[in-house]
Amino acid sequence: MEKQTLISIYATELPENETDDTLYNDIFHEGTETGYRLAIRAAAEQISGFLKHTKKPFSGIKPATLLAEFENISLDTPLPDYKSLYDEVNALYIKHATAFHLPQYIAHLNCPVVIPALAAEVIISAINSSQDTYDQSAGGTFIERRLIDWTGKQIGYNTQCDGVFTGGGSQSNLMGLLLARDYYALAYLNHNIKLQGHPANAHKFRIFVSEKAHFSNQKNASLMGLGEQAIIKVGTDERFRLDAAQLEKAVQEEIEKGNIPIAIVATAGTTDFGNIDPLEDISRIARQHNMWMHVDAAYGCGLLLSDKYRHLINGIELADSVTVDYHKSFFQPISSSAFLVRNKLHLNIIKHHADYLNPKEQDYDELPAQINKSITQSTRRFDALKLWFTLRLMGKQKLGRYTDTIIETTEQAACLIDNSHHFELLSHSDLGVLVFRYIPQHTGGIDICAMNLHIKQTMFFNGEVLVASTRVNGQFYLKFTILNPLTTIQHIQHILTIIKKHGKDFEQRSHATANS
Ligand SMILES: *Cc1c(COP(=O)(O)O)cnc(C)c1O
């Protein structure tokens, strides 16, 4: 067959009303600069609308109502223009999105974000560097490295430290436990888990965490093939911090049972109480027993920004590895997190040579490759640029003042709650979390857990105030997580008034039913 005929058989014909111009006008390239600018400007306008029109942290929409909006949408029929697209996305998402920037949102660990980081997002997604190798990121690699070094310095590490940006705290914690396990096997059992898999006695490995540590530790242990049985939960003190004496006892008990303690995860800022485990005591116990110490500072890392409260996290520098979540406490958009190690040589444990990505003949230092430091991602977003924009434009001090304000508002709120006979507060907080419940005036016949659940749900579906909840010793409690420096004590006072009102309504209805 003639060459020409072959080509025409395989060539894709353009549909009749489509020219080359419209076929490629959605690809980001030099010919579409105007279209790109208009699209981004229109997106920014949607966000202006979101800021202007969102008065409550949540619209209160029920899942069934929202789901019904999706019914007539066919993903196989594209919309004619951006206008139709924005109308659709508004109805499906933006209108009902949870607004973390409003002071009445005090539910989970979601911070308001800073504008420089949002500007960086525009650049990150358009240029779309990938952080795995130098030839896909160039300056991106060095920006990430400088930020890791900077974070290490805030922790109190020396220049031997290293690390990598990750997708989140759960992933960073996984790196901590994985290094802990593999290091233990290499150093004390002369066994290379990366190459050989688990040694025969791996089922005896034990990792100690507090009862209030993040659940990602269990998930990670099971993911690593050690099973959740490897996690030993240690009791806590009156502020729900790991109790060092109980830790010492638990380690002894496991040794007596013939098990092998390999690591301790200390939490610097518990998700439920915002308190810091006793890092120096834990470090001493870890060292005594040749255990790896990982500090989960996913939440508490914000203290690294504060001159005034930095001391609360003293001892973090003693850890072998640390998790920090910039998207929890550095006012960064999701995702932005990092894993750091005190001794960069420990990262060699996970280093893997994929010859096509980082051929052996290329000198590691000549063509730096961050992929050697990442365990769960190859292609990796340039999230580091957001933190770079933030630090370069705002500086650490300004962010630190946000942290100070949050801590001080929380302490005032704690005193308000503690001093009111309407409430029971479980603990003060080093950071911004308060766990408490509404107590009825006449407790007879009232289910206090049901009452507080009612309060939470009523507020959620009114959309006026979003708070979280947790269970402590089987009891249901409300939880404030204050991460917004714009949330003032007046806001908190108002929220407590609303809680009291819903509580009293519930109380009256319960008594009415009981008496009828
Ligand atoms: C949120 C949190 C994590 C998990 O971080 P993600 O970024 O959500 O994966 C881990 N540890 C603590 C203490 C946390 O509060």
Peptide bond into 335 cis (omega under 30): yes
Mutate-to-test residue for ligand 1 from 294, 296, 332, highest number of ligand atoms within 8 A of CB: 296
Q: With beta carbons less than 8 A apart as the criterion, state whether 131 and 370 touch.
A: yes
Q: With beta carbons less than 8 A apart as the criterion, state whether 307 and 400 touch.
A: yes
The pLDDT of residue 109: 96
Reduce the DSSP state of residue 381 to 3 states and report it. Answer: coil
The pLDDT of residue 351: 79
* pLDDT value at 358 more than 90: no
Mean pLDDT of 139-164: 97
The pLDDT of residue 382: 95
Q: Show the domains of the chain with their CATH numbers.
A: 3-83 (no CATH), 163-380 (3.40.640.10), 397-515 (3.90.1150.10)
- 205-231, pLDDT tens digit by residue? 999 999 999 999 999 999 999 999 999
Indicate the pLDDT class of residue 11, thresholds 50, 70 and 90: low
Indicate the pLDDT class of residue 50, thresholds 50, 70 and 90: very high
- The closest residue, in CA terms, to atom 15 on ligand 1 is 271
Indicate the pLDDT class of residue 353, thresholds 50, 70 and 90: low
Mutate-to-test residue for ligand 1 from 279, 299, 327, highest number of ligand atoms within 8 A of CB: 299
Measured in angstroms, how far is the CA atom of residue 165 from the centroid of ligand 1? 14
Q: Write the DSSP string, 388-431.
A: HHHHHHTHHHHHHHHHHHHHHHHHHHHHHHHT-TTEEE----SS
Indicate the pLDDT class of residue 369, thresholds 50, 70 and 90: confident
Mean pLDDT of 184-193: 95
User: Is residue 302 within 6 Å of ligand 1 at its C-beta?
Assistant: no
User: Is residue 216 within 6 Å of ligand 1 at its C-beta?
Assistant: yes
* pLDDT value at 9 more than 60: no
User: Is residue 404 within 6 Å of ligand 1 at its C-beta?
Assistant: no
Two tokens at 114? 């800073």
- 55-65, pLDDT tens digit by residue? 999 999 999 99
Bridging pattern class, strands 205-210 and 231-234: parallel
Bridging pattern class, strands 337-341 and 162-166: antiparallel
Mutate-to-test residue for ligand 1 from 214, 220, 270, highest number of ligand atoms within 8 A of CB: 214
Task: Give pTM, 2 decimals.
Answer: 0.94
| Phi, psi angles (nearest 5°) of residue 466 | -115, 115
Question: Which helix or strand (DSSP H or E) is residue 324 part of?
Answer: strand 321-325
Mean pLDDT of 14-43: 86
Q: With beta carbons less than 8 A apart as the criterion, state whether 387 and 336 touch.
A: yes
How would you class 511 by CB atoms within 10 Å of its CB: exposed for 0-12, middle for 13-18, buried for 19 or more?
middle
Ligand 1 nearest atom to the CA of residue 173, by list position: 10
**What is the percent of the chain where pLDDT is above 70?**
93
The pLDDT of residue 1: 47
pLDDT, averaged across the chain: 93
Lowest mean pLDDT among 158-172, 226-240, 372-386, 427-441: 372-386
User: Is residue 332 within 6 Å of ligand 1 at its C-beta?
Assistant: no
Q: Write the DSSP string, 150-193.
A: HHHHHHT--TT-EEEEES-HHHHHHHHHHHHHHHHHHHHH---H
Ligand 1 nearest atom to the CA of residue 213, by list position: 13
Please tell me which residue, 5 or 274, carries the higher pLDDT value. 274
User: Is residue 109 within 6 Å of ligand 1 at its C-beta?
Assistant: yes
Lowest mean pLDDT among 20-29, 52-61, 360-369, 479-488: 360-369
- The closest residue, in CA terms, to atom 5 on ligand 1 is 169
User: Is residue 383 within 6 Å of ligand 1 at its C-beta?
Assistant: no
**What is the percent of the chain where pLDDT is above 90?**
85
User: Is residue 274 within 6 Å of ligand 1 at its C-beta?
Assistant: no
Mutate-to-test residue for ligand 1 from 219, 271, 275, highest number of ligand atoms within 8 A of CB: 271
Choose among 334, 184, 369: nearest CA to 259.
184
Q: Distance between CA 470 and CA 158 in Å, rounded?
A: 39
* pLDDT value at 18 more than 70: no
User: Is residue 170 within 6 Å of ligand 1 at its C-beta?
Assistant: yes
Ligand 1 nearest atom to the CA of residue 335, by list position: 7
Measured in angstroms, how far is the CA atom of residue 298 from the centroid of ligand 1? 5
Residue in the structure block whose two tokens are 């699209």: 39
Q: Cα dist. 64→61, 67, 78, 166 in Å?
A: 8, 5, 25, 35
Measured in angstroms, how far is the CA atom of residue 309 from the centroid of ligand 1? 21
Measured in angstroms, how far is the CA atom of residue 437 from the centroid of ligand 1? 24
Indicate the pLDDT class of residue 368, thresholds 50, 70 and 90: confident
The pLDDT of residue 357: 55
* pLDDT value at 345 more than 50: yes
User: Is residue 169 within 6 Å of ligand 1 at its C-beta?
Assistant: yes
Measured in angstroms, how far is the CA atom of residue 424 from the centroid of ligand 1? 27
User: Is residue 468 within 6 Å of ligand 1 at its C-beta?
Assistant: no
- 94-113, pLDDT tens digit by residue? 999 999 999 999 999 999 99
Lowest mean pLDDT among 126-135, 329-338, 448-457: 126-135
- The closest residue, in CA terms, to atom 6 on ligand 1 is 169
Ligand 1 nearest atom to the CA of residue 170, by list position: 9
User: Is residue 298 within 6 Å of ligand 1 at its C-beta?
Assistant: yes
Question: Which helix or strand (DSSP H or E) is residue 493 part of?
Answer: helix 489-515
User: Is residue 212 within 6 Å of ligand 1 at its C-beta?
Assistant: no
Choose among 403, 434, 424: nearest CA to 106.
434
Residue in the structure block whose two tokens are 């031997």: 160
Q: Distance between CA 58 and CA 455 in Å, rounded?
A: 16
User: Is residue 296 within 6 Å of ligand 1 at its C-beta?
Assistant: yes
* pLDDT value at 355 more than 90: no
The pLDDT of residue 476: 98
